[in-house]
């Protein structure tokens, strides 16, 4: 459910969502992610989710965990989801609240995790690492191990769809990234970049349907492909120019800056959506990926400073995300992702 609904533009109704599910099933979608906003804030969530399960979709659920009661946990377990993803933003109440902007959140999140664990539901804790919570990284890893759940950390911060970039001030510095990579004992092997290699599966293996029926290539890349209120999903999936272009062009051979980057072998996080949000081009580079590549290079070559990337040599970019989705409303909530 989106809690920031544009005036005069209602979310899809229950009936409309049920029809979308039928369309996705006919189109051959296999896996469905229900996300938000907060999925449990929508009163008809279980009506939608239970119908999706009856249609045979493998369900992945994303929730903040704070609204999981005994009754909700029972119904979530009955859905037999592949996984329930819950955000862990700190290992202490003070840090979690500082990141989340709410009070006493951690205890409610942990209660929700334990309720699901008791019912045999697979849970994954996701941490967005920021300067605000980096000092508690190991505590969060230990907490996940103590709970017996999967743990994943990400560094990707993106601007809001209304063009605001409030979170970037808390993004890890390059030196913090180097320290993080040094603490991570997972082996790293520099990649060989083939021009025909795809950078990700955007628009090819999955897409996003917004609360208002808009179809986008992915959560980050809000280039409008169509709207299920005015066009069948299967038709959008097959014929939308945006999707066709991404399928044919989204390879390293079509990323001019990345092709000539001296440290592209160390790049792990290049994202079409973040590139588009920074400068309006999904085939460009973006600052976070360059910083991560430089940090990885410096971690692999102690004492050496990573070279500047072609992207960094250009003028700073501004966020264009708000201008390509139709209006300036904040549309971060994506309650349905169909693959």
Domain assignment of residue 291, yes or no: no
Of 65, 334, 303, 102, nearest to 212 by C-alpha is: 334
Q: What is the pLDDT of residue 323?
A: 28
Task: Read off the pLDDT band of 329 (50, 70, 90).
Answer: very low
Q: How many domains does the chain have?
A: 1
| pLDDT of 339 above 60 | no
Is residue 299 assigned to a domain?
A: no
**The pLDDT of residue 163 is above 70:** no
Q: Would 183 be classed as within a structural domain?
A: yes
Q: Is residue 292 part of a domain?
A: no
pLDDT band, residue 303 (cuts 50/70/90) = very high
Residue 9 lies in a domain: no
Question: For the residues 61-70, what does the mean pLDDT come to?
Answer: 98
Share of the chain above pLDDT 90, in %: 69
pLDDT for 167 equals 62
Mean pLDDT for the stretch of residues 213-223:
96
* 317 part of a folded domain: no
Could you tell me if 34 and 49 are in contact, meaning their C-beta atoms sit under 8 angstroms apart?
yes
Closest CA to 255 of 244, 267, 243: 267
Q: Residue 282's pLDDT is what? A: 93
pLDDT grade for 316, boundaries at 50, 70 and 90: low
**Confidence label for 331 from pLDDT (cuts 50, 70 and 90):** very low
Look at residue 47 and tell me if it is in a domain.
yes
Residues 6+ apart with CB under 8 A from 113: 65, 86, 123, 125, 147, 149
In a domain, 103, yes or no: yes
pLDDT band at 40 (very low <50, low <70, confident <90, very high): very high
> Residue 191: pLDDT band by 50, 70, 90 thresholds?
confident
Burial tier of 176 (Cβ tally within 10 Å: 0-12, 13-18, 19+): middle
Q: Residue 3 has what pLDDT?
A: 44
User: What local confidence, expressed as pLDDT, does residue 322 receive?
Assistant: 30
Q: Are 268 and 302 in contact (CB under 8 A)?
A: no
Q: Which domain holds residue 130?
A: 14-258+323-338
Predicted local confidence at residue 99, as pLDDT: 93
CATH code at 128?
A: 3.20.20.70
Task: Name the pLDDT band for 128 (thresholds 50, 70, 90).
Answer: very high
pLDDT band at 161 (very low <50, low <70, confident <90, very high): low
**pLDDT level of residue 198 (50, 70, 90 thresholds):** confident
* Mean pLDDT (whole number) for 231-258: 92
Given a cut of 70, whether residue 159 has pLDDT beyond it is: no
Residue 192 has pLDDT above 90, yes or no: no
């Amino acid at each position: 459910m989106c809690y920031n609904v544009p005036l005069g533009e209602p979310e899809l109704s229950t009936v409309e969502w049920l029809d979308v599910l039928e369309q996705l099933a006919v189109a051959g979608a296999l896996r469905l992610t229900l996300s938000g906003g907060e999925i449990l804030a929508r009163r008809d969530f279980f009506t939608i989710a239970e119908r999706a399960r009856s249609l045979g979709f493998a369900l992945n659920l994303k929730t903040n965990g704070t609204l999981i009661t005994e009754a909700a946990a029972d119904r979530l377990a009955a859905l037999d989801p592949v996984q329930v993803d819950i955000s862990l933003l700190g290992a202490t109440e003070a840090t979690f609240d500082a990141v989340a902007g709410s009070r006493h959140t951690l205890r409610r999140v942990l209660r929700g995790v334990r309720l699901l664990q008791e019912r045999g539901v697979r849970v994954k804790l996701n941490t967005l690492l920021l300067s605000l919570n980096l000092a508690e990284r190991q505590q969060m890893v230990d907490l996940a191990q103590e709970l017996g759940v999967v743990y994943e950390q990400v560094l990707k911060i993106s601007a809001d769809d209304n063009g605001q970039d409030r979170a970037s001030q808390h993004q890890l510095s390059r030196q913090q990234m180097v320290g993080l990579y040094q603490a991570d004992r997972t082996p790293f092997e520099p990649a060989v970049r083939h021009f025909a290699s795809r950078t990700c599966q955007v628009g090819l293996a999955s897409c996003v349907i917004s609360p208002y029926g808009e179809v986008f290539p992915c959560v980050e890349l809000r280039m409008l492909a169509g709207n299920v209120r005015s066009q069948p999903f299967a038709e959008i999936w097959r014929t939308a120019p945006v999707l066709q272009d991404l399928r044919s062009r989204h390879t390293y051979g079509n990323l001019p800056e990345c092709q000539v980057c001296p440290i592209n072998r160390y790049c792990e996080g290049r994202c079409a959506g973040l590139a588009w949000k920074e400068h309006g081009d999904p085939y460009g580079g973006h600052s976070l990926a360059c910083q991560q590549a430089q940090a990885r290079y410096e971690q692999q070559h102690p004492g050496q400073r990573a070279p500047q990337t072609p992207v960094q040599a250009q003028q700073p970019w501004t966020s264009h995300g708000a201008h390509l989705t139709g209006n300036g409303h904040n549309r971060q909530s994506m309650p349905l992702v169909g693959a």
